[in-house]
Amino acid sequence: MSERRGNPGDLLARIPGGEGKGLPPVHLWNPPFCGDIDMRIARDGTWYYLGSPIGRKPMVKLFSSVLRKDGEDYFLVTPVEKVGIRVDDAPFVAVTLSVDGEGERQRLRFATLVDDEVVAGPEHPLRVELDPLTGEPSPYLHVRANLDALVHRNVFYQLVELAVEREMAGQQWLGVWSDGEFFPIGQL
């Protein structure tokens, strides 16, 4: 892929709408691919452009609103252009958790660094992947259209405190309930 070093402001000028109008319909846009830009989302959720962190949260939120994943690749998409970016792990990080209710009626609401709010449930499943070498868990939450959030370690500890035991396929699991779904987070 070619690398393009355009100004992200050029891309921003092509995003229709504005703040407070919901997310743009990036899944409907099919513009031509214009190359890769030197933009990266680190595992901790920090966005970088040309190797420097993007310090303005409103700009990061705007970029995140036009983020799309096609296959294994990530793009910023407007109606007229599509540029590739790098994502180290997941494009979002879930940094807070609030709990409504108890037991099977419990609802777990997560907020990301870019202020997306998601209730774990059938449309937003929670999963835990284990590192094959270390066995360290990496929990993820589906946010939207092929885009996940890595659940921050402190939030994962909150989930562990909420966990209950349940038998699944003849084995005992620890997991959490949210929006009527049981999400296993670790085998006993």
CATH class of 92-183: mainly beta
List CB contacts of 24: < 8 A, sequence separation 6 or more. 15, 16, 17, 65, 66
Residue 66 in contact with residue 21, Cβ under 8 Å? Answer: no
Q: What Å distances lie between residue 54 and 24, 63, 94, 117, CA to CA?
A: 21, 11, 19, 22
pLDDT digits (tens, 9 = 90+) for 66-114: 999 999 999 999 999 999 999 999 999 999 999 999 999 999 999 999 9
Q: What Å distances lie between residue 108 and 12, 160, 164, 181, CA to CA?
A: 33, 13, 14, 11
Residue 62 in contact with residue 139, Cβ under 8 Å? Answer: no
Residue type, 1: M
Domain at 8-87, CATH from 3.40.120.10, 3.40.50.2300, 3.10.540.10, 3.40.1010.10:
3.10.540.10
Residue 67: predicted pLDDT:
98
Residue 110 in contact with residue 117, Cβ under 8 Å? Answer: yes
User: Does position 1 have pLDDT exceeding 90, yes or no?
Assistant: no
**Closest C-alpha to 64, from 89, 79, 46:** 46
Confidence label for 159 from pLDDT (cuts 50, 70 and 90): very high
Domain boundaries along the sequence of the chain: 8-87, 92-183
> If you ran DSSP here, which 8-state letter would residue 152 be given?
P
User: Does position 10 have pLDDT exceeding 60, yes or no?
Assistant: no
Q: How far apart are CA 93 and CA 112, in angstroms?
A: 5
Strand spans (E) along the chain? 33-41, 47-49, 52-53, 67-70, 73-77, 82-87, 92-100, 107-112, 117-119, 126-130, 137-144, 147-151, 164-168, 171-178, 181-187
Q: Give the chain's mean pLDDT.
A: 91
For the whole prediction, is pTM greater than 0.75? yes
